[in-house]
Structure 1
Amino acid sequence: MTCKRTKLSFQQRTDSRSNHHCCVPFCTASSRSNSHLSFHTFPKDSELQKQWVVKIRRDHFIITSTSRVCSQHFVTADLIEPPTPAGRQRLTPGAVPVLFHWNNYNMPTARPGVWERTERPPNTEPTEMPTDPDDPWPCHEHDYCASTEPAALDISLNKNEELREEISRLRKQVEELTISSRFGLERFAASDEDIRFFTRFATHAHLMGFWKQIEPATLNIVRVTRAQTAVKTDQVPHSASATVLQPIDEFFLFMNYLSLGLMQRDLAHRFRIHRSHC
């Protein structure tokens, strides 16, 4: 009697997709929800890297292998067409991001569908001026001599320029205050001392290296509510509902909990979320 030994092969399911986030302040672009965008790494040239950091307004920013800037911050001339056969969008040599919220650039939005467009209201204004039937050569009166004084025009232009500079300065202040008041990884990315205190990782680079290893597994996270815990059932369904924090900020919150032993009420206050989300 002979026994045949069956070989069992185990195949680990991997997800080849990578989730890139744009590191420009106030840009929420992600490769998972914006498939039409491309996400570009920082150039290797040190001088060109400094130009990128200055343009995106990230002082003391530590560039890592996961740092990306999305294509909507570059002008069309900086994007090489067509993309590579693999579908990767490339940049022209020396390209620098220049399109941001703070320089009055509005991110492109999708055009409304044909069924969402509204018709223009009918034109109620008369198309022709009433004329005198006894006048064989009707004409319209125009004031061709009326013109704006050069001095008044210069004052108006100077005032507009001052207003633009004031608006730009105020926007920068609002952005800096928003970033400084937000309790998240982005706020402490430039300080390795704060990273060690809140997460126990030696540096920000070590933390991001660890995050890169576990990031693919975030798609398979099982979220359990208190009601499911009370039932004590092993059949817990996957929850695909959106969360109030980005996955990397959820990881930062969890490391705060392990490193400092903070209570849920304290964590909810720091991250400005409801206690139930913690």
Structure 2
Amino acid sequence: MSVRHKVFKSENFPKQCKKYSEHCCVPLCLASAKFNGSLSFHSFPARSDLRSQWLINIRRDQFTVSPHTKVCSRHFIPDHLIEPKTPEGRRRLTKDAVPLLFDWNGYSIQAPRLSVWERRERPADPASLEDPSTDLTVDHDYCSAPEPSSLDTSCAENEDLSREVEELRNQLHELRVQLTFGLQRFSGSDEDIRFYTRFPGYDHLMAFWWLIEPSIHKMVRVSRAKAAAKKNEDVSHSRMSGRQVLQPVDEFFLFLVHLSVGLKERDLGHRFNIHPSTVSRIISTWTNFLYTLLGSVCIRLPAFRIPRLS
């Protein structure tokens, strides 16, 4: 091939150079260098930590960055942009610049939240308190009462809360007494005591109770007697199994209600919130106990004469 042929070939078939059009990789951003010449497009930094921060800020943490991946200048604050000295120069970024302005935050940065000390209200002119030339006696009112300090206010609130807690405890105790079918519930009504126990009133009932109460520890319960009989042991040496569901005075009240009103064991179980079999054992135990205790008391009838028939 001749030299003339080489020159002709190079002149008629020049090498084609493709010009690359830069685009912004931030989601929801349609900026392109082809249609907007005022924007500048910046590559991702070489530092791995700063590059990760860029990806997190633009919400593309799983994105693969290439040499052609760009972020436009509208996502950086003015302090991060270094304007060129000449119109032909290239706009650059500061060393630690990161994109902060996006479509989802309205291309604005929220103001930092003020601290508690900064949000607290203060006097309008605190300098007047330090100015010795200010005459404080003019504005002073000797008839005004001082405001209570925060410590006194806290103590007063604490006392009010303690009083309220005590009132709630008393109300809770009263509700428990009202919901519980026991002697304490009817202690204020002699009419109810007369109906359920056949005693004239609460005082008469308690007078009888204090007479038999010292002998309660000698009571032999039905369950204890049955356990001793199975083991062929003496009842006095056998241990009592289980624990008492009701207090002794409430057991005595249950026994009296059974005798005077004639309520069934199931009904008494619902009223006292115990099992009917427990009601049966309580009735049997108190029957044997009162029979043994009152049977040892000598009751004499007054002497009287039988009139003779004429």
Instruction: Verify same fold: TM over 0.5.
Output: no
For CA contacts below 8 A with separation 6 or more, give which structure has more relative contact order.
Answer: 1
- Name the larger-Rg structure: 2
Q: TM-score, normalised by structure 2?
A: 0.36
